Structure 1
């Protein structure tokens, strides 16, 4: 006879009774899809974009593609599968880098370049390679070999991320790595050769862009994101109190490239005032604005080249409309050593001088004019332009005009503002898309 298990006998004394539930909780909703996260090198205070050109490149590409994501700062490249920033964490948890990010965006929201022909796609690849090869090398050289940039920006940027003395070690280690990379591609690092390659690349890009908003067609491509990244970093970061950096100056010479490293939906082209009637009318507007402004002047100065017809038409209009015989002059790009000689044509610069220009985008022409005026023993008393773009300058919340006013302590007067141009477009009608594009742009860059 089998012996009954005492534990089972004990359990039988207390049978399990199932009672109906007194409360049934509602079903737990499915976890919402996570927003993709783009991990980027830290950005400058109050800036949207990273301080690293590769990160800005992918930030721009995702923005152009309307890919829904958020960004998160990260200064540890080892967190990335490739050991380099940026990297993307998708909604399903995948970690992607480089071209993997591009393919993910294509699969999710579509291909930016699907509308292009095969030939145009090949051109996009060729120009992208050109920009990444030449501009990247020149940018690295400027950041790590230009003593002013290196000491005033590059080293402090990296050293701010780590505690002392680790910050000193890491910044010098990174410099050694960048140097080894450059020397692996060039046996000798010659500044003139590197900058000349960058200038040629910029000229090729400028020629390809022409008067278009984007390099190929009516929408951005990956090339637009790449060029935006390099121009933005070069223009916003390569700035020192010691003077202009050669690479930055090379970019600023190409007015049709994305001004101030951003994609603007409009471009002011004073070259279209190309008939006698149009120029005469423009001169009348300049004269009226100058009279209303009460800017003090002894001489009017038009910086070469666009300023030459502007200041000439203004001087004629002042005499015709107001009976004022105003002295005016302009400069040559290169000095003559024969004839009248020198670089100034027209009235000698003396006393108070008002500079006449079409628009202030980066302020380069004004800075050059200031140097010329001071060199002649005169003083800048004001600036008169045709259009106030009313947008933030590079690396600041001030507009380019406000920067000039603050830097030189003189007023800047414009004939019209962008707001007035938009108001006029609304009145005439038929420009709804252009108006919308300007408004979207101004939400980010307007003042």
Structure 2
């Protein structure tokens, strides 16, 4: 795939020179048979963000999307001559074109937004990895069959082993590898409580208009609520926070125009 993989600091200078193309493509794994909960959350967050910005794109489903990505993670965006992977770099790239969801926020609110995005990424996103790769029942019944579904035997076993090894190293560095399932659920509960308190009774986290925090929360919460898992405790915790559920329904109805579940 031709394209320039640019460092973030070069997006501002070079990205602004080119208008948003009519053929922008967002690459992600197959949704029905392959994608796992953490990747689905990331892909939905990026899709929500692009839709909130009013930017058109086409989703391209590829079995080897993870290996095509410049960062090794999904999703990634091919926009004209540029290839950009993951939400934060995509936000920087979009901002370089003069498009922003946070123009009306002051410095304090922007800092607050980044702090809560960090909370989502360090708790919900990591908990999703834990559930998929450390909970034995989920790994056996969901993770391994889906992650290896697009590869023939014995390659599917090799790919699954490599992926689990990679995830376990990350969880170990973050101090999550030896947590119990109950401890993970406690982390999720604490995170959701903080997110719920910050949202309050507002339609979006910072008032009447969405920001990238709203897109990120939507991606993770919607994915958790709609992904069948052997143990539904993850989703049950989230359903205890009605304002977060309402936020997700609002984003789904306003930007995706799908029937809420």
TM bin (shorter chain): 0.7 to 0.9
Matches of 1:38 and 1:97 in 2, distance apart?
9
Corresponding residue for residue 209 of structure 2: 219
Corresponding residue for residue 168 of structure 1: 157
Aligned counterparts, 1:140-289, within 5 A: 140-186=129-175, 188-240=178-230, 244-259=231-246, 262-264=248-250
Q: Within the alignment, does 1:86 sit opposite 2:83 as a pair? A: no
- Deviation at 1:445? 1.4
Q: Higher relative contact order at CA 8 Å, sep ≥6: structure 1 or structure 2?
A: 2
Q: Give the 3-state SS of the residue equivalent to 2:105 in structure 1.
A: coil
The runs of 5 or more residues in structure 2 that have no matched partner are 1-20
User: 1:136 and 1:442, CA in 2 relative to 1: closer, same or farther beyond 3 A?
Assistant: closer
Q: Give the 3-state SS of the residue equivalent to 1:256 in structure 2.
A: helix
Aligned Cα RMSD in Å?
A: 2.6
Corresponding residue for residue 138 of structure 1: 127
1:43–1:50: 8 Å Cα contact kept in structure 2?
Answer: no
Q: Judging by fraction of residues, say which structure has more strand.
A: 1
Matches of 1:442 and 1:135 in 2, distance apart?
22
The runs of 5 or more residues in structure 1 that have no matched partner are 1-32, 266-390, 392-437
Corresponding residue for residue 258 of structure 2: 444
Q: Judging by fraction of residues, say which structure has more helix.
A: 2
User: 1:445 and 1:122, CA in 2 relative to 1: closer, same or farther beyond 3 A?
Assistant: same
Deviation string, structure 1 residues 314-342 (Cα, Å, up to 9, x no partner): xxxxxxxxxxxxxxxxxxxxxxxxxxxxx
2:38–2:129: 8 Å Cα contact kept in structure 1?
Answer: no
1:209–1:215: 8 Å Cα contact kept in structure 2?
Answer: yes
Matches of 2:67 and 2:216 in 1, distance apart?
24
User: 1:441 and 1:225, CA in 2 relative to 1: closer, same or farther beyond 3 A?
Assistant: closer
- Deviation at 1:136? 1.3
1:81–1:96: 8 Å Cα contact kept in structure 2?
Answer: yes
Which structure's CA Rg is the greater one? 1
Matches of 2:256 and 2:182 in 1, distance apart?
38
User: 1:180 and 1:238, CA in 2 relative to 1: closer, same or farther beyond 3 A?
Assistant: farther
Q: Normalization by structure 1: what TM-score?
A: 0.49
Q: Give the 3-state SS of the residue equivalent to 1:216 in structure 2.
A: coil
Q: Normalization by structure 2: what TM-score?
A: 0.81
Q: Give the 3-state SS of the residue equivalent to 2:132 in structure 1.
A: helix
Corresponding residue for residue 7 of structure 1: none
